Amino acid sequence: MTAPRKARVATVSLAGCFGCHMALLDIDLRLVELLKHVEFDRSPLNDLKHFTQRCDIGIIEGGCCNEENVHVLQDFRRNCDVLIALGQCAITGGLPAMRNAIMHSDDPLRECLEEAYVLSPYVENATHVIPNDPALPLLLDKVYPCSAVVKIDHQIPGCAPSGDIIYETLVQLLAGKFEGFDPHIVHFD
Amino acid sequence: MTDKDFTFTIDGASVTAQPGQTIMEAADAAGIYIPRLCDHEGLRHQGSCRVCTVKAAGRSVAACTQPAAPGLVVESETPHIQAMRKSLVEMLFHEGNHICPVCEASGNCELQAMAYRLGMVEPTKLPYLEPTRPVDASHPGIALDTNRCISCGRCIRASEDVDHKGVFGYCGRGIHRRITVNGEDLAHTDAAVSDHAISGGVCPVGCIIVKRVGFRLPIGARAFDRQIIGEAIEEKRR
Ligand code: SF4
Ligand code: SF4
Ligand code: SF4
Ligand code: FES
């Protein structure tokens, strides 16, 4: 008898802080058991940059703040059966989305960049130019949640999500049916 | 139970009420929690958020304003009503700018707690409106971040009826209805940190912020980190 096929999982960090990937480690000892049922495709955890084959689950950290994020997210949708938005940035745009509206400005992106690279008293930028190297991915007008770009199947709330809620979700998905969260473990912070 | 008291039912459970009690007041006393946002203990009822909607004798009414009546048949936790409540809460998130991870109210916030209770965890189909809204930090002791205001009017009623001041009021209509202060900015009102309107719990969200006390209670140890909203009322029933 052959062992049951392992579920293939890909992960990526888009406009996120990597905290959600760190939170994967909060699964702690249960990771050992989990890894018996899971193998990784492209992920920052193994530094694979491209899909090697179709995946069962894609886990997305962060929303979309630039065009590269959009392309990667679309690539994940094409290559994964189930797509999970992990954490508030992926779900709502999160902290990066602060640049969308809370700037008292009609031109919030410009104001954000000027504050970051030109005007702030803490800037050390001798050229006083906003970075414009053609190699940099083009910023979007706003930061978008993943669900505004592709269809998302599940989302795991939190910033970062707790090890418990990530574990619960993965276990339910690996068992073939997701029946929702216990409200006691749902947090948006 | 006095001879004027009467009974009615909520989701099939018999509830005793006194004349003049609203459906919600009678439900609270019986340990049945009906979700709410604009209603707050000790303040006059306003009936504007509609999160407390129930079906009474088949008609949708606000449980916080509708009087209980003998023999009334009330439905509350039906899938239809729960879904509607969840949509109302979701729309409030989309109408303002709610970035919970950076909000001082996170964990103490009734809007967020209602989202937890009602299971607002699925991918949204609604756009985020992302309005440009002001922050008023002019007052030495109080800040007002209207990005998070849900226009519940609790501060208005607390300031008028308890503090006898009238610091807060509404302006605009419909979706444009916003909270405003009775002066150029908060520093030019007679608002004081000791006002009931400013005290913890009156503003259900992170709009009215008392300065210099933020994050004294860490995230994770706050009211709704420990208990689902409404559980304190439901405990009376057990
Ligand atoms: S949700 Fe929080 S932890 Fe996750 S990427 Fe965003 S900021 Fe980082
Ligand atoms: S007011 Fe409540 S819902 Fe809004 S950001 Fe703060 S914690 Fe989140
Ligand atoms: S400031 Fe707070 S209490 Fe006043 S209307 Fe807005 S949300 Fe309600
Ligand atoms: S709590 Fe009844 S309408 Fe808001």
Q: The CATH number of the domain where A161 resides is what? A: 3.40.50.700
Task: Give me the residue from A101, A153, A154 closest to B130, CB to CB.
Answer: A101
Asked if pLDDT for residue B68 goes beyond 70, the answer is yes
User: B41 alpha carbon to ligand 3 midpoint, in Å?
Assistant: 15
What are the tens digits of pLDDT across the range A55-80?
Answer: 999 999 999 999 999 999 999 999 99
| pLDDT (0 to 100) of residue A15 | 98
In a domain? residue A79: yes
**Residue B171 belongs to a domain with what CATH number?**
3.30.70.20
A42 within domain boundaries? yes
Residue B150 lies in a domain: yes
Mean pLDDT of B16-45: 97
Contact of A104 with chain B, judged by CB distance below 8 Å, is answered with: yes
Minimum mean pLDDT among A43-52, A145-154, B124-133: which range? B124-133
Residues 6+ apart with CB under 8 A from A189: A88, A158, A159, B100, B101, B103, B106, B107, B219
For residue A115, tell me if it sits in a domain.
no
Q: How confident is the model at residue A124 (pLDDT cuts 50, 70, 90)?
A: confident
* Mean pLDDT computed over A180-184: 93
In a domain, B238, yes or no: no
Answer whether residue A33 is part of any domain.
yes
The C-alpha of B106 sits at a distance from chain A's nearest C-alpha, in angstroms, of: 7
Residue A102 has pLDDT above 90, yes or no: no
Decide if pLDDT at A1 tops 60. no
> Which 8-state DSSP code applies to residue B89?
H
Within-domain flag for A25 = yes
How does pLDDT run across B127-169, given as a tens digit for each residue?
999 998 999 999 999 999 999 999 999 999 999 999 999 999 9
The answer to whether residue B33 is domain-embedded is yes
Per-residue confidence (pLDDT) for residue A106, from 0 to 100: 80
B46, B149: one domain: no
What CATH number is attached to the domain comprising B65? 3.10.20.740
Please say if the pLDDT value at position B210 is more than 70: yes
DSSP string, A29-89: THHHHHTTTEEE-SBTTTTB-S-SS-EEEEEEESBEEEHHHHHHHHHHHHHEEEEEEESHH
Mean pLDDT of chain A: 94
- A134 to chain B, any CB pair closer than 8 A? The answer is no
**In the structure, what pLDDT confidence band is assigned to residue B1 with cuts at 50, 70 and 90?**
low
Angle between helices B79-95 and B110-118 (to 10 degrees): 140
* Residue B169 covered by a domain: yes
Q: Looking at the DSSP assignment, which residues form a beta bridge with residue B53?
A: B62
Task: Dig out the tokens for B145 from the structure.
Answer: 């971040």
On the 0-12 / 13-18 / 19+ scale of CB atoms within 10 A, B142 is buried
Rounded to an integer, the average pLDDT of B37-57 is 97
| Mean pLDDT value of segment B8-29 | 97
Residue B26 lies in a domain: yes
Q: Which residues of B touch A91 (CB under 8 A)?
A: 123
| Average pLDDT score, chain B | 96
User: Which pLDDT belongs to residue A125?
Assistant: 84
Sole residue written with tokens 């209603």: B39
* A1 in a structural domain: no
- Same domain? For B108 and B203 the reply is yes
Cβ distance B101 to A184 less than 8 Å, yes or no, reads no
pLDDT band at B22 (very low <50, low <70, confident <90, very high): very high
Same domain, residue pair B165 and B91:
yes
Q: How confident is the model at residue B174 (pLDDT cuts 50, 70, 90)?
A: confident
> ipTM of this predicted complex?
0.92
As a whole number, mean pLDDT of residues A5-24 equals: 97
Chain A interface disruption, residue of B97, B99, B102, B133, most A CBs within 10 A: B99
Span from the CA of B164 to the centroid of ligand 3 (angstroms): 17
Is A157 within the bounds of a domain? yes
Reported confidence tier of residue A2, pLDDT bands at 50, 70, 90: low
Residue range of the domain that includes A169: 7-97+139-185
In a domain, B10, yes or no: yes
Domain that holds residue B59: 6-77
Global pTM?
Answer: 0.95
pLDDT for res A103: 65
Q: B213 pLDDT band (50/70/90 cuts)?
A: very high
Task: Quickly tell me which residue has 């929303």 as its tokens.
Answer: A63
| Residue B99 Cβ contacting ligand 2 at under 6 Å | yes
Q: What is the count of structural domains for chain A?
A: 1
Question: Does the pLDDT at position A16 exceed 90?
Answer: yes
Q: Which pLDDT tens digit goes with each residue over B75-87?
A: 999 999 999 999 9
Asked whether the beta carbons of B56 and B72 are under 8 A apart, the reply is yes
Give the number of domains in chain B: 2
* Residue closest by Cα to atom 1 of ligand 4: B36
Q: Does A46 touch chain B (CB under 8 A)?
A: no
The reply to whether B132 touches chain A by the CB within 8 Å rule is yes
Taking the CA of B179 as reference, the closest ligand is 3
Q: Would A131 be classed as within a structural domain?
A: no
User: Residue A93 and residue B101: Cβ atoms within 8 Å?
Assistant: no
